[in-house]
């Protein structure tokens, strides 16, 4: 089976040649350059310029000469073989033969997500290298892998959030067909593949839209990256919105991704009557009615409105939000850290944890100390657990630390045992950060590669050190902070898979695998039987007791994060897991817990 996504943007194979299209509303003139030869690119209305050239083949290199001078790559390029400032390459997406014709995805309740960065997940740092590890991830009990952004970025090293070519998977990891082989192989193993997509900004190097489409951006909206993307412009907004909506459809159709995670949607500023996020979610649902597509948000605003379900319990727009609140609760309890946003959870972390377990968000409109006590969040207790992607670690929470420490570098292993079970056996959608399954030794550091732009590299390096100057550990010496522009920083972040065979990593991997087996056998069937509600209590200020109700029965989690023992009456419920010495979870010493299930007769 061969697949291609048809769209107005970019270069598209047509009978006998290629159709080229560029939206350039503020350019005086545009010529098409193909393999060194210039061709007219006539206006076709609404800021568009289009032409079809016969005889152009896949592999041809092309760009657009703007106002007789700058030759810019295609903003909808399918591949940039010579990085973001080079010419684009004509790609025939139908040249790849897919073998997953019967694949339509998996229910979201079955998702166990493995977030990874292609460049550091394996020694090879390629799509092929990650593909070779798919059997290991399947054996672990993972059912979905989530790739950090792939949109082409400047240089050979980047987390992916500096992308400027949203349609072009970065060439540092391989060619487009290599990515398709990875997705195809994953489907063959029953694994879903998600992609992190960035629609709130472009990176600082290699974005040429300002040269010919100034109205793609607007000063009316300001973001941490400068002028906002013009989603609501009177004349340009519709095209700008389509640029990103078509991008989502492109990844889902042409690359067969099973879902998308949208980065920092609180920074997508849109005053339209119908917000971009609503149009995006509804369009995806309408376009792929026969596939199980999962859409996830990162949203500091905790807006439950984007996660609403229909009468049948299906997401109207987006499936889930990353549950940062729950992460923050666990992190405070595990490490004692209370700086920055952790301050808003350090006052009563157990109570906040209980609310997150039962209702999703800890803050649902209450004053948020980190935001000068401005209200944060919306009521979320009516949403099912599958509306929340939960985690103890992710790329941000590890990589945004000055030294990139993982949780196993910071927390007591005994405490981490309880938190790990609390993550993997609760009915929300759990996510592991690559290497977490064996408590990997490698840090995940912040890294970029803007060479030969020495000024930009220096700005990033200095900014990173300035960011941590206020921390006591670096107040007198910021030189301890790894230089994000050095290749060694990137290399230090690569996983060492051989660790899995050595203690203590071997034991952590075995326990993670066991927990995911218990989840598959005991938790997923409950979650798929229909959610009916949840309630959490604090039988003691340092003990959380949460029960979720489903059509087929109940799931109960009791955790003692205090110093004194706690006695529990399990009633008629049976233990699924406990780390208590009695093996039954009736007597819970410090930092032990139990998961119990009870079938509905």
- Tell me the pLDDT tens digit for each residue of 237-280: 999 999 999 999 999 999 999 999 999 999 999 999 999 999 99
Radius of gyration of the chain (CA): 25
For the cut 80, the answer to whether the pLDDT of residue 475 exceeds it is no
- In angstroms, the CA 215 to CA 124 distance is 41
| 263 known ligand binder | yes
- Residue 345 predicted with pLDDT over 90: yes
Q: Would you tell me how many other CB atoms lie within 10 Å of the CB of residue 227?
A: 16
Confidence of residue 134 (pLDDT cuts 50, 70, 90): very high
Percentage of the chain exceeding pLDDT 70: 100
Q: Which active-site residues does the annotation give?
A: 263, 298
Residue range 2-44, pLDDT digits in tens:
999 999 999 999 999 999 999 999 999 999 999 999 999 999 9
The topology (CATH level 3) of 110-329+373-502 is TIM Barrel (3.20.20)
Going by CATH, does the domain composed of 528-597 fall within 1.10.760.10? no
Q: For 502-521, what is the mean pLDDT?
A: 98
What number is the average pLDDT over the span 349-355? 98
> Residue range 190-213: average pLDDT?
97
136 is in an annotated binding site: no
For the stretch 442-451, pLDDT in tens is 999 999 999 8
Average pLDDT over residues 72-96: 98
What's the pLDDT score for residue 472?
72
Q: For residue 110, what pLDDT is reported?
A: 98
Domains in the chain: boundaries:
8-88, 110-329+373-502, 528-597
Tens-digit pLDDT profile for residues 413-442: 999 999 999 999 999 999 999 999 999 999
Convert the pLDDT of each residue in 168-187 to its tens digit.
999 999 999 999 999 999 99
Task: Kindly tell me if the per-residue pLDDT of 476 is higher than 80.
Answer: no
DSSP string, 210-240: HHH-GGGEEEEEEETTEEEE-TT-TTTHHHH
- What is the predicted pLDDT for the residue at 446? 97
Looking at domain 8-88, does it have CATH number 2.60.40.10?
yes
Q: Is 200 annotated as a binding residue?
A: no
Asked whether this chain's domains 8-88 and 528-597 adopt the same fold, the reply is yes
The pLDDT of residue 339: 87
- 468 — pLDDT class (breaks 50, 70, 90): confident
Residue-averaged pLDDT of the chain: 96
DSSP at 149: P
Confirm or deny that 471 is annotated as ligand binding: no
Contact 55, 67 (CB under 8 A): no
Would the annotation count 262 as a binding residue? yes
| 400 annotated binding-site participant | yes
Beta strands in 73-203 (DSSP E): 88-89, 113-116, 144-147, 151-153, 163-169, 192-197
For residue 66, the Cα-to-chain-centroid distance in whole angstroms is 35
């Amino acid at each position: 089976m061969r697949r291609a996504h048809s769209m107005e943007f970019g270069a598209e194979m047509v009978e006998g040649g290629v159709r080229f299209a560029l939206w350039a509303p503020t350019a005086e003139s545009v010529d098409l350059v193909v393999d060194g030869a210039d061709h007219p690119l006539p206006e076709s209305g609404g800021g568009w310029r289009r032409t079809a050239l016969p005889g152009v083949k896949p592999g041809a290199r092309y760009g657009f000469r703007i106002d007789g001078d700058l030759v810019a790559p295609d903003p909808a390029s399918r591949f940039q073989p010579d990085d973001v400032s080079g010419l684009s390459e004509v790609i025939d997406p139908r040249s790849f033969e897919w073998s997953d014709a019967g694949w339509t995805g998996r229910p979201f309740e079955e998702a166990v997500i493995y977030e990874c960065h292609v460049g550091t997940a394996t020694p090879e740092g390629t799509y092929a290298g990650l593909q070779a590890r798919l059997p290991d991830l399947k054996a672990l009990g993972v059912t979905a892998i989530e790739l950090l952004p792939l949109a082409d970025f400047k240089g050979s090293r980047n987390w992916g959030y500096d992308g400027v070519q949203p349609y072009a998977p970065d060439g540092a990891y391989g060619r487009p067909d290599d990515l398709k082989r990875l997705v195809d192989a994953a489907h063959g193993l029953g694994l879903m593949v998600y992609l992190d997509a960035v629609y709130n900004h472009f990176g600082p190097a290699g974005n040429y839209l300002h040269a010919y489409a100034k109205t793609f951006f607007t000063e009316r909206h300001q973001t941490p990256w400068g002028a906002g993307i013009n989603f609501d412009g009177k004349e340009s907004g519709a095209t700008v919105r389509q640029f990103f909506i078509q991008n989502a459809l492109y990844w889902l159709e042409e690359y067969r991704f099973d879902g998308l995670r949208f980065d920092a949607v609180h920074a997508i500023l849109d005053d339209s009557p119908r917000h971009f996020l609503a149009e995006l979610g509804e369009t995806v649902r309408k376009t792929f009615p026969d596939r199980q597509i999962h859409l996830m948000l990162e949203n500091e605003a905790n807006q439950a409105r984007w996660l609403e379900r229909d009468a049948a319990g299906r997401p109207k727009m987006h499936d889930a939000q990353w549950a940062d609140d729950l992460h923050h609760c666990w992190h405070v309890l595990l490490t004692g850290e209370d700086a920055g946003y952790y301050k808003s959870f350090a006052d009563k972390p157990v109570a906040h944890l209980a609310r997150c377990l039962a209702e999703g968000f800890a803050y649902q409109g209450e004053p948020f100390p980190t935001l000068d006590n401005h209200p944060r969040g919306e009521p979320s207790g009516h949403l099912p657990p599958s509306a929340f992607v939960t985690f103890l670690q992710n790329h941000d929470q590890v990589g945004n630390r000055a030294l990139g420490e993982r949780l196993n570098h910071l927390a007591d292993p005994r405490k981490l045992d309880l938190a790990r079970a609390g993550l993997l056996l609760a009915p929300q959608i759990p996510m592991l950060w690559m290497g977490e399954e064996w408590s990997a030794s490698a840090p995940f550091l912040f890294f970029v590669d803007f060479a030969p732009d020495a000024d930009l590299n220096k700005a990033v390096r200095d900014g990173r050190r300035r960011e941590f100057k206020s921390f006591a550990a670096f107040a007198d010496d910021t030189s301890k902070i790894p230089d994000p522009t050095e290749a060694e920083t990137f290399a230090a972040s690569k996983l060492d898979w051989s660790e899995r065979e050595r203690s203590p990593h071997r034991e952590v991997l075995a326990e993670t695998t066991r927990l995911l087996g218990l989840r598959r056998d005991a938790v997923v069937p409950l979650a798929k039987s229909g959610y009916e509600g949840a309630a959490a209590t604090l039988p003691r200020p340092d003990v959380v007791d949460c029960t979720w109700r489903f059509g087929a029965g109940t799931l109960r989690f009791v955790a003692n994060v205090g110093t004194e023992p706690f006695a529990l009456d399990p009633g008629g419920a049976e233990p699924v897991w406990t780390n208590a010495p009695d093996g039954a979870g009736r007597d819970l010493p410090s930092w032990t817990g139990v998961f119990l299930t009870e079938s509905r007769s």
